[in-house]
Chains A and B, each alone.
Chain A
Amino acid sequence: MGGLMENHLVKDLMVPISEYATVVVGTSLIDAILTLEKAQETYTMRKYMHRAVLVLDESGQVVGKISQLRALKAIQPDHKAHEEIERLKAFNFSDNYIAQLRDLYRSHGKIMSDHSLRQAATKKVEEFMQTPSPGEFVSENSSLDTAIQRLVAGTHLSLLVTRDDKIVGILRISDVFAAVFHKMTSLDN
C-alpha cells in the first residue's frame, strides 16, 4: 500500500470495472442484489467488500449506481411518495414538517412484510438507481489529492474513474481511506 501512495494516482487504487458488480437496465432489484452477493464472493483482492452495483445501458456505458442506501430506499412502500416528500425541501418546507409527513406515510405501510418485500423485489433498477452527478467522475491519471477532495466535497462513497470518455473503474472511499491512514500511521512510526 505504501508504494501505491508514492504514485499518488487514482488508477493505482481503483477497482477495474470488470471486477465490479454490474447489471444492465431492466434488471430487477432482487437480481441486482444477487449479482452483488456473487461479486462479493469472488472479489477477495482487498478486505473491503463491494457495497454497490453499477447499472449499464445496452452499449455498456455506466448510467447509474445502486448503493445499499438506494436499495433500502427502494423497498419503502410508495417510495415515489417518499421522493415527493423529499422534494418539498426545495420548496422551503421545514425539516419538522417533512418529518411529520414521513411519519404519516410510514404509518400507512409496513416495510418488513412479505407482501411489501415481494413487490419491492420486482422493481427495475432504473426506477431507483442514482444517476451520476458531474462531481462524481475522476480521471484515472488524477492524483489522490483530487480524488479525496471530490469524495469529501460531494460526500460520495465512490467515484467513477474515466479514461477519455469511458468509465474504466471505481474508486471506493474504503480503499482511499485505507491507503491514506496506512500512510499516516507509517509516518508516526
Chain B
Amino acid sequence: MKELQKLFNRIVQRVNINLRELKFDVSPYADALIPPDQMNKFYAFYGITPDHPLDLHFEHSALAGSYFLGKCRVRNSLLYKSDIRGDELKRKNDVRKFNSFTITLTKDEIIDIEDSALVKTLVHNYSHDPETPEKFFIKDTLAMDYANIHGAPSDGCFLGPFATVDLTTMRDCVIGAYSYIQAGEINHLKVDPGTIWVNSPGNFNFFYKYPQEPLAHYVSLSPDNVPWGILIDFIDERKDQFQRVFDFVNLDTIESVPETASLDRYAVVLPNIKIADNVLVAQRAYIENSSLGKGANAQENCFIINSCLEGYNVTAHGAKIIEARLGSNVFVGFNSFLYGKKESRLKIGRGCVIMPHTIIDVDQPLEIPEEHIVWGLIRNSEELRTNSMSLAELASVECSFTKGRMHFEGKGALLVNAFKERIQHILEANGAFFEDGANAGHAQRNQKLSLNTIQPFQFGEMVGMYPSIRILP
C-alpha cells in the first residue's frame, strides 16, 4: 500500500474513533472523497508578504493544489485544493478579552493541522477559543468540498459539503451538508443537513432548518458517492476557467483595476468587469460581466456573474450572486446562493443582510426591500414573506418568535447589532475604507504578496506526498 493510502486510512480511523459516540462512520463518504491519482497532479503554493509572519511547516502530508499564508503547521494530513489563510491570526503581545479574563498572547498564533483531511476547504480567521489563544487547531477532522472552518478550532469532527463552522470550537461533532453553525462552543453534536444556527448564549438564538427534500436538489450526499446537486453542478461547469489560472505561471495583468484594489492572481475574471477603489477579490473567486463598487469584496470561492454590487458589499466565503443588483452595504453570508435568471433578475435593497447559507432561486423577478434580513430557502415572493423581515422589526423583538421554519429566542436588537458590527469589521479588515494611506486592509496589503510553489513526489511509494519541509523568512 502506498504512503498516501496509508495516511488516508489512518485519518479516517482517527475521525471515526472520535465520532463513535454519535455512531457516525465517515468511511463510506471518505472513500470517494480524494482520488489518489490526482494528488500528484497539482502543486501547492504559499504567499510571502512583509505584512504577515512566515512559518510554514509541512510534515508527512499531501497538499495538492492548496494555498498557505502566514504561520501554519501541517502534520500527517491530507489537503486537497484547500486554502489555509493565516492573515488574520493573532500576534505576540495581542491582548484579548473573554468574559472577565484578559488574555495576553505570549507568541504568534499558528494554524495547526494534524491527522486531518480537508477537501476544497477554507480555513481562515483565528482561534476564538480562550483556552488555546495561540493555536488554531484542526485535529482528527474530515472536511468535505467547500466547507468553511472560520475561526473554528476542531477536534474529531466531520463537516459535510458546503458546511460552515464560524467562530465556534467544535469537538466530536458531525456537521451536515450546507449547515452553518456559529455557537461559541459545541460538543458531541450531530447537526442535520441545512441547519442554520446562530447562538450567542444569554443574548439571542436563531435557528432554521431547510426542508430536506428541496435542499437535496441543491446539495446531496450519500455513502460511496461524491457530493452532487445544483450547487456542485454550478461550480463544475466553471472549473475549466480555474484550470487556466492555475496552469499558467504569468497571466496578463488587467489594466482597469485601481491601485487601491486587489484582484488576486488566482481569481478568474471574465469580461466585462468594472472594479472600483478598495475592492478585494480573493483567490478562487470568479467574476464575470459584473461591476464591483467602492469597497466591495468577493472572498474565496465566490461567484459573481452578470451582477452589479453598488459598494461596501460583503460577499462572504463561498457566496454566489448571479443576475442580481445589490444596493450598497448589502451583506451576503457564507455559501449563499442567489440565483437570479436573465429574465427574472434579483434586486436586493441597500443594507440588507442575507443570512449565511441562504438559497434564493427564482423564475420570476424578485425584489427585497432595503434593510431586511433574509434566510433559508426562497423560490418565490410567498417564501420571501415567510423567510424575511425588516431589521427594525427584528430589533424590536424582546423575547421570542417563530416564523415559518425559523425559531428565535432572545433580544432581536442584539442579533442585528452583532451583524452590523461584524459587517463593519469585515469591511475594515478588507480595506474598504482605505483613504490617503490610512485604513489599509487585505485589498491594499495583498498587493505586496508574491507566491512560491512546492511540488509533491511524482514516483515511488511516496507519490502524491510532499517532502517534509520548514519554510522560514
Q: Do A and B bind each other?
A: yes
Residues of A that sit less than 8 Å from B by CB:
84, 88, 90-94, 97, 100-101, 104
- Also in contact, A90 and B189, with CB within 8 A (given A84-B209, A100-B400, A101-B402): yes
Closest-CB distance, B195 to chain A (whole angstroms): 8
- Also in contact, A93 and B407, with CB within 8 A (given A84-B209, A88-B207): yes
- Also in contact, A91 and B402, with CB within 8 A (given A84-B209, A97-B409): no
| B407 CB contacts on chain A under 8 angstroms | 88, 93, 97, 101
- Also in contact, A94 and B402, with CB within 8 A (given A84-B209, A88-B207): no
Q: Are B400 and A97 in contact, CB atoms less than 8 angstroms apart?
A: yes
What are 17 A-B pairs at a CB distance below 8 A? Answer: A84-B209, A88-B207, A88-B407, A91-B197, A91-B199, A91-B205, A91-B207, A92-B201, A92-B205, A93-B205, A93-B407, A93-B409, A94-B409, A97-B400, A101-B402, A101-B407, A104-B402
Closest-CB distance, B44 to chain A (whole angstroms): 38
Closest-CB distance, B376 to chain A (whole angstroms): 15
The 4 A-B residue pairs with the shortest CB-CB distance in the complex, in nearest-first order: A97-B409, A92-B199, A97-B400, A91-B207
| B209 CB contacts on chain A under 8 angstroms | 84
CB-CB nearest in chain A for B197: A91
Closest-CB distance, A180 to chain B (whole angstroms): 31
Residues of B that sit less than 8 Å from A by CB:
183, 189, 197, 199, 201, 205, 207, 209, 400, 402, 407, 409
CB-CB nearest in chain A for B399: A97
Is the contact region of chain B dominated by helix, strand, or loop, or is it mixed? strand
In the bound complex, CA of A130 to CA of B402 (Å): 29
CB-CB nearest in chain B for A104: B402
CB-CB nearest in chain B for A85: B407
| A100 CB contacts on chain B under 8 angstroms | 400
In the bound complex, CA of A84 to CA of B409 (Å): 16
| A101 CB contacts on chain B under 8 angstroms | 402, 407
| A84 CB contacts on chain B under 8 angstroms | 209
In the bound complex, CA of A88 to CA of B201 (Å): 14
Closest-CB distance, B9 to chain A (whole angstroms): 25
Closest-CB distance, A8 to chain B (whole angstroms): 31
In the bound complex, CA of A52 to CA of B58 (Å): 57
| A90 CB contacts on chain B under 8 angstroms | 189
In the bound complex, CA of A104 to CA of B201 (Å): 24
CB-CB nearest in chain A for B409: A97
Apart from the given pairs A93-B409, A97-B400, 10 other A-B contacts in the complex at a CB distance below 8 Å = A88-B207, A88-B407, A90-B189, A91-B197, A91-B205, A91-B207, A92-B183, A93-B205, A97-B407, A101-B407
| B402 CB contacts on chain A under 8 angstroms | 101, 104
Closest-CB distance, A43 to chain B (whole angstroms): 33
In the bound complex, CA of A97 to CA of B400 (Å): 8
In the bound complex, CA of A91 to CA of B402 (Å): 15
| A91 CB contacts on chain B under 8 angstroms | 197, 199, 205, 207
Closest-CB distance, A104 to chain B (whole angstroms): 7
CB-CB nearest in chain B for A101: B402
In the bound complex, CA of A91 to CA of B410 (Å): 13
| A88 CB contacts on chain B under 8 angstroms | 207, 407
In the bound complex, CA of A91 to CA of B201 (Å): 10
In the bound complex, CA of A101 to CA of B405 (Å): 12
- Which one of A92, A93, A97, A101 has the greatest number of beta carbons of chain B within 10 Å? A92
- Which one of A90, A97, A101 has the greatest number of beta carbons of chain B within 10 Å? A97
In the bound complex, CA of A172 to CA of B230 (Å): 51
Closest-CB distance, A49 to chain B (whole angstroms): 33
In the bound complex, CA of A73 to CA of B199 (Å): 29
Q: Are A93 and B207 in contact, CB atoms less than 8 angstroms apart?
A: yes
In the bound complex, CA of A101 to CA of B406 (Å): 12
| A94 CB contacts on chain B under 8 angstroms | 409
In the bound complex, CA of A122 to CA of B33 (Å): 41
In the bound complex, CA of A94 to CA of B197 (Å): 15
Closest-CB distance, B392 to chain A (whole angstroms): 23
In the bound complex, CA of A90 to CA of B181 (Å): 13
In the bound complex, CA of A88 to CA of B407 (Å): 9
CB-CB nearest in chain A for B207: A91
Closest-CB distance, B397 to chain A (whole angstroms): 13
In the bound complex, CA of A84 to CA of B183 (Å): 19
Closest-CB distance, A99 to chain B (whole angstroms): 11
| B197 CB contacts on chain A under 8 angstroms | 91
CB-CB nearest in chain A for B209: A84
Closest-CB distance, A127 to chain B (whole angstroms): 16
In the bound complex, CA of A91 to CA of B179 (Å): 13
In the bound complex, CA of A33 to CA of B409 (Å): 40
- Which one of B201, B205, B209, B409 has the greatest number of beta carbons of chain A within 10 Å? B409
- Which one of B197, B201, B205 has the greatest number of beta carbons of chain A within 10 Å? B205
Closest-CB distance, A105 to chain B (whole angstroms): 10
Closest-CB distance, A116 to chain B (whole angstroms): 23
In the bound complex, CA of A93 to CA of B209 (Å): 14
| B199 CB contacts on chain A under 8 angstroms | 91-92
CB-CB nearest in chain B for A84: B209
In the bound complex, CA of A94 to CA of B201 (Å): 11
